[in-house]
Structure 1
Amino acid sequence: MFDRDRWQEIFEAIGKNKLRTFLSGFTVALGILIFTVLLGMGNGLLNSFLSSFVDDAQNIIFISSGNTSKAYKGFQENRKIQFKNEDFEFIKSNYIGKVEFATPRVYRNSQAKYKKESGSYSIRAVNQDHQYLEKTIMMKGRYINEADVKERTKNIVIGRLVEKDLFKNESALGKMLDVDGIPYKIVGVFQDSGGDNEERIIYIPFTTVQLLFGNNDHINQINLSYNMAMSSEQAIAFADQIKDDLKEKFKVAPDDQSAIRVRSFAEDIKETMVILGGIYLVIFVVGIGTLISGVIGIGNIMTFSIKERTKELGIRKALGASPKSIIAMVLQESVLITSVAGYVGLLLGIFALKLIGNNLEKFFILNPKVDTGVIMVATITLILAGLLAGYIPARRAARIKPIIALRDE
């Protein structure tokens, strides 16, 4: 392989067929370029999908209610389903061992005021488990705890941007914040990787909100995380079980899709992976198809090259060159053309993805790139493609008979 004379002969052969070599190499480079860019785009879609879960636990299940879409067991159509504290307790007590964390949610839009500064913010009334479900990161102080929920305290936790909006350069920790005319003590300030909207939220104990705003036990939503020991199929089945049990509890028709809605990240991930799997399949088909056309082109150029060098190869065999050495020379030339052209395409593809960056984020393509594993696979693929492209011409060259070759003009 490191024979200087052989390499010199290979480069001389390539130099005699510059146009054919360029065109064949161009096809391979284009194929790898297209494959790299498409694969990077596919990874960008995957990154965009995964980023939507970055601020939530990936084993979370959302349970919400609506109105019934059909009459059932004596109850009329369009009946409102209202979750209450007893339904939250029903979830916690019925699925012991299957549920890790669980919290009710009560939503409210409120006006918050500190001194001369004020603003409208979303209120999420929750319990202590919500911190783990939302993956909330505490910057200052603490989160809502069990005592806050039991005692219905007026302790609240505010987002980083709420502090920035209302308190400017002051620390909000320990200060009093007026929310809809009621003073609350700020016991913590949090940050959230979900973005600005998630950091302009105020968390209040759900029992406090129920008491102060309505004096009831109504809940808008129930969130929980399932045991991570479950497989994705078991998690999806668990979500379906919760839906069926709640439909039975509220006397909702089994095929009513609007009254009780249960969404599991496991199901979202499964559906998205099916779509991404189809996209990746198309990418591989396109990439392999283009690569095959390049391999055929290189095979053709090697065939032409051998035909033009028939006399030379005959002389080699007459002087004692073995068929094995001729095959090795042809294969080496083929692998060289394929590998160099392929890596040019790969580098161009990586460069194109870097130029694209996050400019296509509005099309749900985030940080498109190919990983090291793909580059290693590409290396092996290019070598194998080069061997495949040169094998048939190499065998043909090895079978040339010296006497016939010497007569060739």
Structure 2
Amino acid sequence: MIDLIQEIYGTIKRNKLRTFLTGFAVAWGIFMLIVLLGAGNGLINAFESNAGGRALNSMKVYPGWTNKPFDGLKEGRSIKLTEKDMEITGNFKDNVTAVGATIEQSSVNLSYGEDHVSLLLEGVTPEYLHIDAISIKTGRFINAPDIKEKRKVILLHEKTVEMLFGKKDANVIGKYVNASGLAYQVIGVYTDMGNYSPSAYIPFTTLQLIYNKGDKLETLVFLTQNLPTEKANEDFEKQYRQAIGNHQRFDPTDRGAIWISNRFTQYLQQQKGNNILHTAIWVIGIFTLLSGIVGVSNIMLITVKERTREFGIRKALGAKPVSILWLIIAESVAITTFFGYIGMVAGIAVTEYMNAVAGEQVMDIGVASATVFLNPTVGLNIAIQATLTLIIAGTLAGFFPARKAVMIRPIEALRAD
């Protein structure tokens, strides 16, 4: 083994520049692979983070406009969801565990002292907390007694608090804010991805009463169960459209009449996108690495040609073909592994630097914020995969030149120039 190492070292030492340039191509290939995988993980982790806090077993139903005539009614009719639709939703007891709704009042002037802000006031039910990405910073969310007693309580976004009270960490629980002449007691502050306008939440029944909304709804929200597959969700949505269509008198196949936002199927689609991204990164990285591996293979072919006479003498003296085969492959693996390791370490260092500089990159649009880059690093499993890739690549790079060296007949090798 020591003789083999010395021989490989001697060969590399005699061709320093050639070995360095070839090794650099390998190092660059594995470096790009690691960096691309790290960047890809940063995007994928951001997607997962943005989905966090939201119940995957949840659906939202929005009213729309009919695109098809039905039962003597023309297309283009506006559908208005009502509390009767909430009852219909609750009848799916095998698949629906909780039902809620939202209603809205836009352009409400909210003030505290001299400061004020115009925002969207949303009336919600307690179920909304588990369905949307709402994280309670301080205080609490709307609860059942608030709904039953039609309490004038309000939940503010932390940036709304900053606008009204001067700083978003202000202690506002129990204080009163004025909403177009009505006083609401602040019961909580929340932080989340937000919307494009600063929403404030009050009990569904309170907004319904004060702003005379009747039985009309903006959205229906509900939690589901026993729908583990995409096919099961599609079948449920078909049955649900049929039930709502019977009440609202629209064609159940008219997808424009109501819009269903299904978090579970959206999550599955996101996972497919993540898998495609991950695969694309590996393909690009592998092809980048292959350019360096081809260089190693070419160098080994040149080495075989230069040492043809030497191999002939070895075989004439009784050297077994497998020893020559092993010599060439070992040299190829040594080059790819050494320089590949350098490239891998450099790649990991860069991903760690990216994590330190932009590991929690958040895009802020007023009150809206979303994580766009999170923890762009690679795990131990990736390092193992990269190592195996290097070993396999080095073996393949040396195999074909080694096979050529083994096939050389001693008499022909001795005649070589």
Pick from 122, 127, 152 the counterpart of residue 120 of structure 2: 122
Matched length: 404
Task: String of CA shifts for 1:329-355, please: whole Å, max 9, x gaps.
Answer: 222211111123333443444455545
Pick from 310, 313, 318 the counterpart of residue 312 of structure 1: 310
CA distance in 2, matches of 1:228, 1:4: 64
CA distance in 2, matches of 1:195, 1:214: 26
Task: String of CA shifts for 1:114-138, please: whole Å, max 9, x gaps.
Answer: 2333222322211111122225333
- Distance verdict in 2 for CA 1:364–1:192, change over 3 Å: closer
CA distance in 1, matches of 2:34, 2:326: 30
Alpha-carbon RMSD across the aligned residues, in angstroms, is 3.2
Paired position in structure 1 for 2:405? 397
Q: How does 1:141-290 map to 2 (within 5 A)?
A: 141-168=139-166, 171-186=171-186, 188-194=187-193, 200-227=198-225, 230-290=228-288
Maintained 8 Å contact 1:127/1:205: yes
Q: How does 1:304-343 map to 2 (within 5 A)?
A: 304-317=302-315, 321-343=319-341
Task: String of CA shifts for 1:242-278, please: whole Å, max 9, x gaps.
Answer: 2333223211124433221001122223333444444
State the shift of 1:407 in Å.
5.0
CA distance in 2, matches of 1:14, 1:270: 51
* SS, match of residue 346 in structure 1: helix
CA distance in 1, matches of 2:166, 2:372: 35
State the shift of 1:26 in Å.
3.7
Percent identity over paired residues: 34
Paired position in structure 2 for 1:380? 388
* SS, match of residue 94 in structure 2: coil
* SS, match of residue 56 in structure 2: coil
* SS, match of residue 63 in structure 1: strand
* SS, match of residue 67 in structure 1: coil
State the shift of 1:14 in Å.
1.7
Q: Which amino acid aligns with 1:71?
A: P
CA distance in 2, matches of 1:130, 1:15: 69
CA distance in 2, matches of 1:135, 1:283: 30
CA distance in 1, matches of 2:336, 2:36: 20
Task: String of CA shifts for 1:12-52, please: whole Å, max 9, x gaps.
Answer: 21233334434433443343344344444443443343343
State the shift of 1:197 in Å.
6.3
Paired position in structure 1 for 2:366? none
State the shift of 1:172 in Å.
1.7
Maintained 8 Å contact 1:136/1:190: no
State the shift of 1:309 in Å.
2.0
Q: Which amino acid aligns with 2:323?
A: S
Maintained 8 Å contact 1:163/1:189: no
Maintained 8 Å contact 2:105/2:211: no
Task: String of CA shifts for 1:272-327, please: whole Å, max 9, x gaps.
Answer: 34444444444333333343443333222112212222333344455664433333
CA distance in 1, matches of 2:85, 2:404: 78
Which 10-residue stretch deviates more, 292-301 or 384-393?
292-301
- Distance verdict in 2 for CA 1:28–1:245, change over 3 Å: farther
Q: Which amino acid aligns with 1:138?
A: I
Maintained 8 Å contact 1:176/1:184: yes
Alignment of 1:96 onto 2:93: yes
CA distance in 2, matches of 1:407, 1:133: 81
- Relative to the length of structure 1, the TM-score reads 0.85
Paired position in structure 2 for 1:111? 109
Maintained 8 Å contact 1:26/1:341: yes
- Distance verdict in 2 for CA 1:49–1:241, change over 3 Å: farther
CA distance in 2, matches of 1:123, 1:177: 13
Task: String of CA shifts for 1:131-186, please: whole Å, max 9, x gaps.
Answer: 22225333433321112112212222223333333234752222222222111222
Maintained 8 Å contact 1:45/1:364: no
Alignment of 1:366 onto 2:373: yes
Alignment of 1:68 onto 2:66: yes
Q: Which amino acid aligns with 1:272?
A: Q
* SS, match of residue 192 in structure 1: strand
